Chains A and B, each alone.
Chain A
Amino acid sequence: MGAVARDLTGVRAAGIYVCSMAEGVCEVANFSGKKIILAAILLVAVFMLMRATAFGRVGVTPLEGALRDALSPVQQVTTRVGQGMRNFFTAPFSLVEAARQEKRLSREIKDLQGQLRQAGEYRLESQRLQKLLDFKENTAGSAGFQTTAAAVVGRDPGNWFSTITLNKGTADGLKADMTVLAPEGLVGRIIAVSPHTAQVLLLTDPRSAVSSLLQDTRAPGLVEGTGGATGGLRMKNIPTDTPVHAGQVVVSSGTGSLFPKGVPIGQVTGSNRDPTGLFYDATVRPFVDFNRLEEVLVVTSVQQPANTGQKISGNWSQFGR
């Protein structure tokens, strides 16, 4: 085999030393001057070609162009065939991968949908709690009510009575007969309490009765529940010397009652004389949606403000009506 010369500088007039590694001998190569010049020209030409076609060149020579154009369809077909073969052989693996990805993406979509729903729930809860907090700090606070927030955790299992169970009890300072409020108005009162729960009798329960007033005429009456399931109220014993009409607001009177004065209850929707003819009876639509109560405030104590009834009702107007 021809080997690299150990000493390329050993050039004589007639030739160059060439050493054979395998045979371990050196002999003089018979290079003529013409050949050396030819090699030098070739070397220079190659260097020039390399320089001319170096990276960054924009144009192509006409020969290059023609060659490329001629080869292009062949390349295209070859590439397509190659791609087809690759797809054919890798299809089963791709399908497995696609199925795996589909499963993973479906799971991710479900997770994200769940997170979205959860976020929506948090947003609604936040809005409710914000409303409750505003109510507690502004309306209830200015009315002198010290309140504790509680969540509704249960309801009466029947259709006739109307009670709810709260998640707080005597351990949180709650007692029987405390008033329960919502931002919209009066909810009811606590009737039974354990260390960690309290049962609230809602206004709509037929066992509930609240001494009340028509807000504008100050005509007194008694608001009773007409059956838990339907969520209706009725105001009885309204004197006939004052007019009763739809739209009038009913508030608690506070007189001889467990409930503080001036808390909104509902709005009159209709009236008629009672069977004796001595009083009016009015049907009242409560401000509070008792079927959708989730959080409430329990009034733990009342500090009488300077200007009671009117002030409470006035502040409440932004919530209840």
Chain B
Amino acid sequence: MRGLVLLGLLALALLLQGTVLGMLRIGGVMPDLVLMLVVFVAFLSGKTEGAFWGFVAGLIKDAAAGSYFGLNALSLMTAGYLVGLAERRLYKDSIPVAMFVTWLAAVVSQLAHYLLLLYWGMDIPPGTAMRVIFGVAFYTAVLVPLFYRRFYRSQLHGWLRNRQY
């Protein structure tokens, strides 16, 4: 059940990113709801789940983009794994902590994405890249308070509860 709900949330996040959020760009940048979802899962469930759902979410995002399959899968898996490492070390009930973790994960994920694009021969000016990396990180982190509490409660008592614990 949890898996299905997460897949549904991923699909919804992708749908929003491909439609509505495109109209809410600031400086050409839109928030990354898929990344936010991966960060939440990793932050609350640990590195294994974080890496797994990062990979799955990235692969779905690659499929939606239609090219370079694996690009998002690798960058989101990295972010999920790194956030998962902090699972037992940070206070989960705090929104500012969740915002900071999301911001950091977004920077790491977008940086990994940029490096992979460079590897594939795409010539993106560093200035543009920095604008995208920090723009996405800031915009995504700012939206965390809207969703984190709900996700956290659902993880503890709702549909996203992990049955094995």
Interface residues of B in 1-28 (CB under 8 A from A): 14, 17-19, 22-23, 25, 27-28
Q: Which A residues are in CB contact (< 8 Å) with B14?
A: 157
Q: Does A156 contact B (CB under 8 A)?
A: yes
Nearest B residue to A206 via CB reads B122
Q: Beyond A159-B29, A206-B117, is A154–B123 a contact (Cβ under 8 Å)?
A: no
A227 is contacted by which of B65, B66, B128 (Cβ under 8 Å)? B128
- In the complex, are the beta carbons of A159 and B136 less than 8 A apart? yes
Q: Beyond A206-B117, A206-B124, A224-B123, is A159–B32 a contact (Cβ under 8 Å)?
A: yes
Nearest B residue to A294 via CB reads B23
**Shortest beta-carbon distance from A108 to chain B in Å:** 30
Interface residues of A in 192-235 (CB under 8 A from B): 192, 199, 206-207, 224, 226-227, 229-232, 234
Tell me the interface secondary structure of chain A in the complex: loop
Q: Does B131 contact A (CB under 8 A)?
A: yes
- In the complex, are the beta carbons of A159 and B66 less than 8 A apart? no
B19 is contacted by which of A155, A160, A163, A191 (Cβ under 8 Å)? A155
- In the complex, are the beta carbons of A230 and B123 less than 8 A apart? no
Interface digits, B83-111 against A, CB 8 Å rule (1 contact, 0 not)? 00000000000000000000000000010
Interface digits, B37-70 against A, CB 8 Å rule (1 contact, 0 not)? 0000000000000000000000001001111000
Q: Does B78 contact A (CB under 8 A)?
A: no
What is the total number of residues of chain B having a CB less than 8 Å from a CB of chain A? 33
Tell me the interface secondary structure of chain B in the complex: helix
Q: Does B77 contact A (CB under 8 A)?
A: no
Q: Which B residues are in CB contact (< 8 Å) with A161?
A: 65, 67
B positions within 8 Å CB-CB of A:
14, 17-19, 22-23, 25, 27-30, 32, 34, 61, 64-67, 72, 110, 113-114, 117, 122-125, 128-129, 131-132, 135-136
A positions within 8 Å CB-CB of B:
153-161, 163, 165, 191-192, 199, 206-207, 224, 226-227, 229-232, 234, 291
Name 23 A/B residue pairs within 8 A (Cβ), A-sorted: A153-B19, A156-B65, A157-B64, A158-B17, A158-B65, A158-B72, A159-B30, A159-B135, A191-B66, A206-B123, A207-B122, A226-B124, A226-B125, A226-B128, A227-B124, A227-B125, A227-B128, A229-B25, A229-B128, A229-B135, A229-B136, A230-B28, A230-B29
